[in-house]
């Protein structure tokens, strides 16, 4: 069976949507190319009586989190999403968990053995979570952009790890943002015996070395991992993990490490390091204290003229009413699953309560 990776996505969210659909594409390839192996795979699957990752997740919730602590969980695929929700409801009660994915629907097994398709909009899932009607929210990246969850939740679990490390930072950004009053706790679940986990460990070690090399030339050490990762591009990591699974037969640790070193020889190489050093050096020499008085003091309301002009260029007129601004979504933008056809009551005011802020506050993070 062979399958090409998706074309390079323009954004991390587009990449997430592509990966969420990948299992269905792979299933089709299996039917076309390897039907004779399905019986063997089914026999192997029947021998599995419990998913160790799910068992560890339940144990983590019961032993390492305060009772009733809200929890945001991220999965790569809807299949994992189903496993997590089923396990959570079996342990903590039906209705304890909501979900967010690109389809806004999920086929969940019932206790009687039947399968029921649940439908839930992302806004409804977020509101249920933010108001305490659900304790757990299980999300894929697809469809999660622009959702504010920081008012009530400060704990996140990566149930599946994405291949692109930048996506980990994006996930944490759902909680670690303006309005968060607690330190965000992050848990990663991974099986150290898998090839993916070994590559992750090697990647983390290399990033630590790059960080150490750059920190030596900084007056004050700064975390530059995101910058180095972002400069590399998502396809590099997709191919790294995809090829790593078959590159070394048997995957002995020493040979996998040698393969990784050769494959990532240019990762964080001279061009990237020199660029980062130049950027950090310019910032280090910039004295905000000498010009602080001339820097404009601006906040969200300063974005309104820009927003009106942007909508005007897209053929939309922004109207102001008693409840705020109203505008219809431009036609060219309606292909995005994150956008509603129309928005009413929009404001540039941070003082809104949490349940209203998610839908009405215009600023960085809003789908528009």
List, in sequence order, every beta strand (DSSP E) within the chain: 71-74, 97-100, 105-109, 115-119, 136-139, 155-158, 185-188, 319-321, 324-328, 342-346
Task: State both tokens at 289.
Answer: 């204290």
Does residue 10 surpass a pLDDT of 90? Answer: no
- Choose one of 286, 312, 330: the last residue of a domain: 286
Query: How much is the pLDDT for 5?
Result: 43
The CATH number of the domain holding residue 63 is: 3.40.50.300
Does residue 1 surpass a pLDDT of 50? Answer: no
Query: How much is the pLDDT for 95?
Result: 93
**CB-count exposure of residue 85 (10 Å: 0-12, 13-18, 19+):** buried
Helix or strand run (H / E) with residue 92:
helix 78-92
Of the candidate ranges 19-28, 60-69, 214-223, the one whose mean pLDDT is the lowest: 19-28
In a domain, 291, yes or no: no
Does residue 131 surpass a pLDDT of 70? Answer: yes
Q: Is the domain of 231 the same as that of 175?
A: no
Q: Is the domain of 317 the same as that of 355?
A: yes
Q: Is the domain of 249 the same as that of 318?
A: no
Query: How much is the pLDDT for 16?
Result: 57
Q: Is the domain of 120 the same as that of 57?
A: yes
In a domain, 10, yes or no: no
The answer to whether 97 touches 135, Cβ cutoff 8 Å, is yes
Does residue 101 surpass a pLDDT of 70? Answer: yes
User: DSSP 3-state assignment of 118?
Assistant: strand
Query: How much is the pLDDT for 117?
Result: 94
Total structural domains within the chain: 3
Spell out the residues 6+ positions from residue 188 whose beta carbon is closer than 8 angstroms to its own.
157, 158, 161
The answer to whether 80 touches 101, Cβ cutoff 8 Å, is no
The answer to whether 361 touches 336, Cβ cutoff 8 Å, is no
Structural domain that includes position 144? 51-188
In a domain, 294, yes or no: no
Of the candidate ranges 91-105, 120-134, 339-353, the one whose mean pLDDT is the lowest: 339-353
Write the DSSP string, 212-228.
Answer: HHHHTT-SS----HHHH
% of the chain with per-residue pLDDT over 70: 70
Mean pLDDT for the stretch of residues 273-289: 53
Q: Is the domain of 120 the same as that of 170?
A: yes
Of the candidate ranges 68-77, 257-266, 283-292, the one whose mean pLDDT is the lowest: 283-292
% of the chain with per-residue pLDDT over 90: 26
Q: Is the domain of 107 the same as that of 172?
A: yes
The answer to whether 257 touches 202, Cβ cutoff 8 Å, is yes
In a domain, 231, yes or no: yes
Mean pLDDT for the stretch of residues 116-140: 94
- Choose one of 188, 219, 247: the last residue of a domain: 188
Spatial distance between the Cα atoms of 117 and 82, rounded to a whole number of angstroms: 11
Spatial distance between the Cα atoms of 2 and 120, rounded to a whole number of angstroms: 34
Does residue 135 surpass a pLDDT of 80? Answer: yes
Spatial distance between the Cα atoms of 141 and 185, rounded to a whole number of angstroms: 19
Does residue 31 surpass a pLDDT of 60? Answer: no
Which range scores top for mean pLDDT: 128-142, 210-224, 273-287?
A: 128-142
Spell out the residues 6+ positions from residue 318 whose beta carbon is closer than 8 angstroms to its own.
307, 308, 311, 312, 325, 326, 327
Which range scores top for mean pLDDT: 52-61, 170-179, 293-302?
A: 52-61
**CB-count exposure of residue 27 (10 Å: 0-12, 13-18, 19+):** exposed
Does residue 289 surpass a pLDDT of 60? Answer: no
Q: Is the domain of 159 the same as that of 96?
A: yes
pTM of the model: 0.63
Mutual angle of helices 253-263 and 195-215, in 10-degree steps: 50
Does residue 201 surpass a pLDDT of 60? Answer: yes
């Amino acid at each position: 069976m062979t399958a090409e990776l998706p074309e390079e996505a323009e954004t991390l969210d587009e990449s997430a949507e592509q990966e969420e659909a990948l299992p269905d594409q792979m299933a089709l390839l299996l039917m076309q190319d390897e039907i004779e192996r399905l019986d063997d795979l089914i026999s192997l699957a029947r021998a599995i009586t419990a998913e160790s990752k799910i068992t560890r997740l339940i144990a983590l919730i019961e032993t390492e989190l305060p009772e009733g602590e809200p929890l945001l969980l991220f999965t790569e695929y809807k299949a994992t999403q189903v496993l997590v929700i089923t396990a959570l409801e079996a342990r903590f009660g039906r209705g304890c968990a909501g979900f967010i994915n690109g389809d806004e629907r999920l086929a969940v097994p019932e206790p009687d053995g039947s399968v029921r398709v649940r439908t839930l909009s992302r806004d409804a899932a977020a509101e249920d979570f933010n108001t305490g009607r659900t304790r757990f929210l299980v999300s894929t990246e697809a469809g999660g952009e622009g959702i504010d969850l920081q008012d009530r939740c400060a704990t996140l679990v990566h149930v599946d790890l994405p291949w692109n490390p930048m996506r980990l930072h994006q996930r944490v950004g759902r909680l670690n943002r303006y309005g968060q009053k607690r330190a965000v706790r992050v848990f990663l679940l991974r099986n150290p015996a898998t090839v993916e986990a070994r590559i992750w460990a090697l990647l983390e070690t290399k990033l630590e070395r790059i960080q150490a090399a750059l920190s030596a030339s900084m007056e004050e050490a700064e975390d530059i991992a995101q910058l180095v990762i972002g400069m590399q591009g998502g396809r590099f990591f997709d191919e790294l993990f995809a090829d790593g699974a078959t590159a070394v037969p048997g995957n002995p640790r020493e040979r996998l490490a040698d393969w990784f070193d050769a494959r990532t020889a240019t990762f964080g190489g001279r061009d990237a390091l020199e660029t980062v050093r130049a950027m950090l050096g310019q910032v280090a020499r910039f004295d905000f204290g000498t010009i602080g008085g001339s820097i404009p003091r601006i906040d969200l309301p300063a974005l309104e003229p820009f927003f009106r002009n942007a909508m005007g260029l897209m053929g939309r007129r922004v109207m102001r009413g008693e409840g705020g601004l109203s505008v219809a979504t431009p036609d060219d933008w309606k292909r995005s699953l994150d956008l509603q056809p129309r928005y009413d009551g929009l404001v540039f005011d941070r003082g809104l309560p949490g349940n209203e802020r998610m839908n009405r506050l215009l600023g960085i993070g809003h789908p528009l």
